[in-house]
Every structure is written in structure tokens, then in C-alpha cells.
Amino acid sequence: MNLTQRRVPQVFELGRSSSIRSFKSIDSSSITHGIHVFQCPDAVGIVAKLSDCIASRGGNILGADVFVPENKNVFYSRSEFIFDPVKWPRLQMDEDFLRISKMFDATRSVVRVPKLDPKFKIAVLASKQEHCLIDLLHSWQDGRLPVDITRVISNHDRFPNTHVVRFLERNSIPYHYLGTSKENNREDEILDLVQNTDFLVLARYMQRYRKDIINIHHGLLPSFKGGHPSKQAFDAGVKLIGATSHFVTEELDAGPIIEQMVERVSHRDNIQSFVQKSENLEKQCLAKAIKSYCELRVLPNEENRTVVF
């Protein structure tokens, strides 16, 4: 394949390739879904090697998304495939992809088999506002988010008989109240509580956690800072509101963007409907970002950008 022809995202639907054996003769209950993401310096033959790795073990590629940025010597891919774990054991799969990773000097090669691998363990760090927290808890309970919530940590003390606390108690999820201040953000205590998590959500005030942190903030246009931004935006008569989910960096609300959503508002909205629309966007945007992250759709691209397949 000519490299100059791969400068735009491409999707290959390879699931019916004649070179990959049919699964019709296999018990459907044994077929398992896998995901592989890959990042390495661009070179000839990467797609061929990845495809051959899966096909040689009897796997069937359902879809492969490839991206090579213009004028950048870097290759990104995400493949979804099905396989028989009896024919291709999980440990063997890791070894096979590791071999390709070494072959192309990859900076990222991650395999995930949702049916066999543990769910991502997350902790949720929440402030006084509850709309995103409540939505995450119910999405987790309904199985719409492929995560295990290990605990909720907050700088706001919630009373025992509140909806959130009752929900957490019913589901045996610990709740930790850690009052913070400018002089003491309790980061050492938080780090101790989240040491066994895979990533954090809504962690606005965490800096020393060395794994990924996903945050959400409103996008009221034009920008309104300080207290009660929704009221400021409503009073200014804005016509477009939004939400941005992003990774957390040392600079607040400036990390690489994962997902964004927008919605129009009008003179017909009152302050209640205005705030409700804004909060609904935040909930949807955060949930989609977490789901994309768990499905290995999000890859870093340069210092402050992402590739989201």
C-alpha cells in the first residue's frame, strides 16, 4: 500500500474476508470479542502483519480503523475481531501482539477481551453538584458502563438519608468525605484511596495521580467564569451551549479533549430548562467519553490532542 494514500482515516470491513476461516462450524457460545489498539512509527506492512496475526489464529476481523496524520510519522489503528479462546488462549494473544509490537517499535499496543478481562476499576471524585455522579451510578447499575466503581470521594458532606448515600450503601460502594481547602486539598489521602484504580472520573482537584483522569465541564458560549456560569449565560441570552469531556492536566480544563456535545437554546427557555439542558449534555458527554475510553477508542495524539476511533 502506498503510504501517501493513507493520509486520511480509513475503515476496513474485513469480517467476510475469504482468507479468514468461517465461524459457522463453531458453537456461537464459544466465540469471543476482542479489541486491539496500536500506535507506532509509520511503516510499510503494519496492517498486513496485524491482520495476519489475527487470521493465523483463526480469528475473524470485524472492522479495522487506521489513521496516519498528514506529515507525521506515526500510525494508529484499532481492530475489532472475534475468536475462539480455546484455539487462541488469552496469554498467547498477548504474546502474539507483543511480537508485532517489538517488530514495529510500538509506543502503544493494548489488547482487551471484555468477556475475559476484568472491568476497569474507577473511583469517582465528586463535588456538591450531583447530576453527573447520579447518572454514572445508574449507568453502572444498569450495565451501560463497563466499569466497576470502587468508591466515591467528595469534598462535600452528604447526609446519611440522601439519594446518593442510600444508593451507595445498597450497592456496597464506600463513600468518603474529605473536606478540602486552598491550604490542604487532601491529595495524599485521596491517592491512598485510589491506588488500586485504573483511572479516575470527575477529579478536578487531583494532580499527582499518574494514571488517566477524565473530567467534564460545561461549554457556555461565550465563556462565563466565576460563580453561577449558567445564570450568567442565561442572562446574556446565549444561543448555543455545550459540554466537553477531557483528560485532566495541571492546567484546569485544558487537557486533551475526548468528547464534545452541543445543543441550541432560545428565548423560550427559562432558567430551569436552560440548566437542565446543560446538565443533560454534561451527563451524556461524560458517559460517552468513559465508554469510549473503556472500549479503547481513545489514543493520545501529540501533546494536547487525541485520536478517537
Quickly count: other Cβ atoms within 10 Å of residue 127's Cβ.
Answer: 14
Closest CA to 223 of 236, 210, 213: 236
Residue 253: exposed, middle, or buried by beta-carbon count in 10 A (0-12, 13-18, 19+)?
middle
Q: What is the distance between the alpha carbons of residues 280 and 45, in angstroms, rounded to a whole number? A: 45
Q: What is the distance between the alpha carbons of residues 136 and 203, in angstroms, rounded to a whole number? A: 14
Active-site entry in 42, 65, 148, 253: 253
Q: How far out from the chain centre does Cα 217 lie? A: 16
Coil vs helix vs strand at 80: strand
Contact between 293 and 256 (Cβ < 8 Å): no
| Residue 303 per-residue DSSP state | T
* Geometric angle at alpha carbon 267, from 266 and 271, rounded to 5°: 90
- Is the Cα torsion angle 8, 243, 278, 241 positive or negative in sign? negative
For the chain, helix, strand, coil in percent to 5 are 30, 30, 45
Contact between 297 and 267 (Cβ < 8 Å): no
253 is catalytic: yes
Active site residues: 253
